[in-house]
A and B are shown apart, each in its own frame.
Chain A
Amino acid sequence: MSTNHTSGAGSATHAKKAEIFCQDEARVDWHSKALWMLREKRDRAASSIPEWEQLRELGSQLKLHTLTHLDQYLEEFEKNCHANGIQVHWAKDGAEHNQIVHKILAEKQVKKLVKSKSMLTEECHLNPYLESHGIEVIDTDLGERIIQLAKQPPSHIVVPAIHMKKEEVGDLFHEKLGTDAGASDPLYLTRAARAHLREQFLSADAAMTGVNMAIADKGAVVVCTNEGNADMGANLPKLQLHSMGIDKIVPNLDSAAVILRTLARNATGQPVTTYSAFYRGPQTDGEMHIIIVDNGRTDMLQDKILAESLKCIRCGGCLNTCPVYRRSGGYSYNYTIPGPIGIAVGAQADDTNSIPWACTLCGSCSYVCPTKVPLDKIIHHHRRLKAKAGKLPYGKRSYMPLVGNFMASETMLNCSMSVARTALRILPGAVLKPFSGAWGKYRELPIAPKSSFETWFNKNRGQ
């Protein structure tokens, strides 16, 4: 097993953690390439849809509309869920979420829970909580199962085991599942996992999934997977639970259609996920519970710029395109969610105050985002918030008072982002490199776009 990856929970700066990852140059190149492949597939899928930009705009607008009417939609959603025989629970934070889940499971004396991928339950640290209460939790998405067996957190939100080589998975499965020693063929390993997980599905007492969308006017939740693990899970035992952040609400099926068209295309380049399942009530004699979670989201909504990060549909596109993420690995971000969106939603919790600087402000993330989350603007805003709070990370203090003031000015915001881009283009690498931290020590700096995509688009294509 690789020992290069430390858990996301530690408190080293992004640069320190990236430095660990950067030591293995071959792995960094391989990691970067694997993710860039996803980015290329995404580009092909996006350009095959003539209305792609229209869908991005619609996605952005409908999410903004929903976020600015969330109280109404959440109440409508709850009312309609009740009418469909679904039980709804509200949790203000991760701890309350976990308690609610445990209470439901304990009442039914659940011993084994099968789970499908959910960044929210990661965010709430549900697994260790349930395990400490004697409930066996089986993550059933293949990538999630791999890292669960390896006792690691996810390093990517869509492909959680992207940092692992097939030989490492082979060794792990040999040890845990009894596959042949030295076997590393992905087909063989996937089949072994299929057989192992079938046993788990068939013997589970309850299932839990995340939620891709919650449809207010139907009282239904949508769950998307390629493997079918969420549906194998939820449709076997009689008890199904779904955890969702308050930001997962969309008004109606028409909105869901817009997002279903961009989600998979932007994530992996597929036209749609293999399974997009709509649950509008429990199975016969079954029980269905939905836990609606805040955990800091209402706080984010009180900041005009941070609020827009809740438009995110967790496609992972911004991670795949990010030159820093690709070369520093998912474990360097001090948060469950890495990459640009991880900075956007996790920077405030980062006690090293370093992750807003794990970004070149190249703007590539904002350009690929299917709901137009203004990631570079948000990340820049986080720098400003850190500067204002006097929480600049170690090593940036010497030059940051000046830069900090510069960034703390709202009117300079867009301007300074274009300065960053210009700097990347015209300054010699030797001048910039000392500022780029561990990453630049081992790599060349990226070629920055001449302008942000918005500027380019407005100039060249906009009306």
Chain B
Amino acid sequence: MSSKQSILHALKRVAVEPQAMPEINVSPRLDDVIGQFETNLGAVAGTLHREAGLSGLQAKVDELIAQGQQVISTVEGITGNRTLPETAHELKDIDYAVIPGDLAVAENGAIWVNNKNLGHRVTPFICENLFLVVKADTVVANMHQAVKQIGLESGEFGVFIAGPSKTADIEQALVVGAHGACSLNVYLT
């Protein structure tokens, strides 16, 4: 018998009575979802820019480029000074990546990013700093609502990003900037 067969065979004899799947019906908190999002994004060490819009973001990007930073953008309307390289490894010196998020979650500050908008899958992780652009009308209350809307086609990759990379592995001291981006700024449009 193959291992698969023997595992499936053993699973015919689970001692617990079969249980029904519960109905997942959790009421969302709909009051001021953007305010909730801002608070929770702050709690995970990200920053929300509510008013600046795309023009504010472009001005920020121009300023960074003038300072000699390497900026790549996959957001329509935002121009950086780097184009998408052939291989993912060539992204290793990117200082800032500007990426569109598909939706944002108020209860925890997370933003869903799909690989269709990344160039390479590793872009939001390998960059030193990350800018995410989110449309205000895509902010949902909680994860239950978020998963109803996320696009994840066959073969794809997607990720909820909640703040910059962080760790507390050395004596529980929180350090922002482990392996992924060291800062996260979110621009609402």
Contact = CB atoms under 8 A, between A and B. Distances in A.
A96 B175 CA distance: 38
B93 to A, nearest CB: 11
B157 A253 contact: no
A255 B121 CA distance: 25
Interface stretch (B20-28, B54-62, B72-80, B131-139): B20-28
B85 to A, nearest CB: 13
A70 B125 contact: no
B112 to A, nearest CB: 9
Interface in B123-159: 125-126, 142-144, 146-148, 150, 152-159
B150 A67 contact: no
A51 B156 contact: no
Contacts of B144: 254, 257-258
Interface stretch (B7-15, B63-71, B94-102): B7-15
Nearest to A286: B121
Given A54-B26, A201-B179, A236-B122, A274 B3 contact: no
Given A255-B24, A275-B161, A232 B122 contact: yes
Given A62-B21, A74-B8, A84-B154, A276 B110 contact: yes
Interface string A267-295: 01011111111111111000000001010
A283 B123 CA distance: 13
Interface in B25-70: 26-27, 40, 43-44
Nearest to A231: B125
Contacts of B4: 90
Given A190-B170, A274-B161, A92 B3 contact: yes
Contact of A232 (B14, B16, B125, B170): B125
A190 B12 CA distance: 48
A257 B145 CA distance: 9
Interface string A218-240: 11100000111101100110000
A110 interface: no
B157 A283 contact: yes
A83 to B, nearest CB: 6
A297 B167 CA distance: 31
B7 A274 contact: no
B177 A140 contact: no
Given A235-B120, A280-B152, A307-B16, A257 B177 contact: no
Contacts of A133: none
Contacts of B89: 202, 236
B10 A159 contact: no
B118 to A, nearest CB: 9
Given A201-B179, A236-B122, A298-B11, A268 B168 contact: yes
A301 B180 CA distance: 39
Contacts of A282: 155
Contacts of A57: 22
Contacts of B110: 271-272, 276
Contacts of B156: 280-281
A200 to B, nearest CB: 10
Given A64-B19, A218-B152, A253-B150, A166 B180 contact: no
Interface residues of B, number: 73
A186 interface: yes
Interface residues of A, number: 97
B186 interface: no
Contact of A281 (B15, B105, B109, B155): B155
A299 B7 CA distance: 10
Contacts of B14: 67-68, 70, 301-302, 307
A84 B169 contact: no
Contacts of A255: 24
A117 to B, nearest CB: 10
A85 interface: yes
A57 B105 CA distance: 22
A253 B24 CA distance: 11
Contacts of A270: 43-44, 162
Contacts of A241: none
Contacts of A318: none
A142 B22 contact: no
B179 A228 contact: yes
A159 B157 CA distance: 27
A274 B44 contact: yes
A308 to B, nearest CB: 7
Interface of A: 34, 37-38, 49, 51, 54-55, 57-58, 61-62, 64-65, 67-71, 74-75, 83-85, 90-92, 96, 140-143, 146, 159-162, 164-166, 169, 186-187, 189-191, 193-194, 197-198, 201-202, 218-220, 226-229, 231-232, 235-236, 246, 251, 253-258, 260-261, 268, 270-283, 292, 294, 298-299, 301-304, 307-308
9 contacts: A62-B21, A186-B170, A190-B170, A190-B177, A190-B178, A227-B179, A232-B122, A257-B143, A307-B14
Interface of B: 2-4, 6-8, 10-22, 24, 26-27, 40, 43-44, 88-89, 92, 105, 107-110, 120-122, 125-126, 142-144, 146-148, 150, 152-173, 175, 177-181
Given A62-B21, A68-B16, 19 more contacts: A84-B155, A90-B2, A143-B169, A162-B172, A166-B171, A229-B179, A232-B126, A246-B7, A246-B11, A251-B21, A257-B144, A272-B105, A275-B159, A277-B158, A294-B3, A301-B11, A302-B14, A302-B15, A307-B16
